[in-house]
Amino acid sequence: MAFSGVQKYTHTFENEMNDEGFLGQNNIAARAFEARRLLKAWYAHHARPLPWREMPSVYGTWLSEIMLQQTRVDTGIPKWHAFRETFPDVAALASASEEEVLKAWEGLGYYRRARLLHRAAQAIHDAGRYPETHADWLSLPGIGPYSAAAISSIAFGEPVAAVDGNVQRVASRWNGVTEAVDSKSGIQAIQAIADAWLDPDDPGRHNQAVMEIGALVCKPKAPECDRCPLASTCRSAINPELWGVLPVKQPKKKPQAWSLHWHVVTWGSKVVVVQRAEQGVWANMWVFPESAPSHNFTDLGRVGEPVKHILTHKRIEATFQRWQAPDERSLRAYAEAQGGLVMSWVEFGNRPRPRLLTKVWEELLRQTSIVELH
């Protein structure tokens, strides 16, 4: 059904212009020029007053681009402010410990972004200046083609087109790209459209405008074509069948189920925690042990119901089992056997930990009668 819609659509736009005056398939350059003009006028009146736009800086732009990957804007705004308060400039970020950076990143997930941001800050600080070109930004840890294009165009005015998920969606619908946008041919097709659209005189605002259209108007499930400035040049605007078809993406692997059992082993106000390995899920973050203590520890029961949590490739169901050690010596022996440490809950609260733990943190404190963090 969806595919027949694509076929029907492709056949419809074989001419330069249809009876309604719509610019057709063979005139991309003219359509792109008109789309650029309309987009510029729309953005001037509809751009959101985001803090990194209101207070422009290279540091703020770079941070926003990394932070908003796989993070919603409404979640990112307060974290952007908080992160900048903790690390006001690249020198402060570069001189911080990785643990401090991960703690400040807590709640955003995908912690690899924070580690690479930290490494990039150290490289920038060592160099004594920010990169200014797309190519130079690409040389930094955690910077891919999109981030490099966005930062270099917004902060330095380099005329390069930035392509993120929003741009993929808008461009694929605008020009009827039926290849998967994450395939080699699809990537090339979308990049060609983005390049044709690009305003070389104001590339930063242009790139933000295209992304803004995707975020506010050309939405994934319910595009609002009736208020889209690009509707008169867009092939999908007059074919609603395509809204649910484009953009086409390659099938994703289903996330693997992960049954996770964490053991909350305490004695008084002390708790045993372990640091995860440097590689893999939640690298270097602090969690509870996954092995139960010996029989002389008191089983205090489970903390609430199993907690469900989704990562990119994993579907987690976590249970938290509470135990009480017979004495501090036994607690420390258990910690040593697990390769972990004994900490106060206050100290644990100040260490970077997975977002999954924040879902049960208050309940853990309540059940263990610890109020030190409040």
CA 101 to chain CA centroid, Å, is: 17
- Are residues 196 and 29 in contact, defined by beta-carbon separation less than 8 angstroms? yes
Please give the Cα distance from 160 to 354 (Å, whole number): 36
Point out the catalytic residue in the list 16, 20, 65, 305. Answer: 65
Peptide bond into 247 cis (omega under 30): yes
Helices (H), 14-70: 28-46, 51-54, 58-67
Cβ atoms of 61 and 154 within 8 Å: the answer is yes
**Phi then psi dihedrals of residue 361, to 5 deg:** -60, -50
The answer to whether 65 is a known catalytic residue is: yes
Q: Which two tokens stand for residue 1?
A: 């059904």
Rounded to whole angstroms, the Cα distance separating 120 from 194 reads: 27
Chain centre to alpha carbon of residue 62: 13
**Residue among 297, 361, 295, 289 nearest 331 (CA):** 297
| 122 CB-contact burial (10 Å; exposed 0-12 / middle 13-18 / buried 19+) | middle
Query: What does the alpha-carbon distance between residue 118 and residue 45 come to, in Å, rounded to a whole number?
Result: 36
User: DSSP for 304-359?
Assistant: SSPEEEE-SSEEEEEEEEEEE-SSHHHHHHHHHHTT-EEEEHHHHHTS---HHHHT
State the Cα–Cα distance between residues 79 and 148, nearest whole angstrom: 22
What's the 3-state SS for 181-218?
Answer: CCCHHHHHHHHHHHHHHCCCCCHHHHHHHHHHHHHHCC
DSSP 257: E
Report, as residue numbers or ranges, the catalytic residues: 65
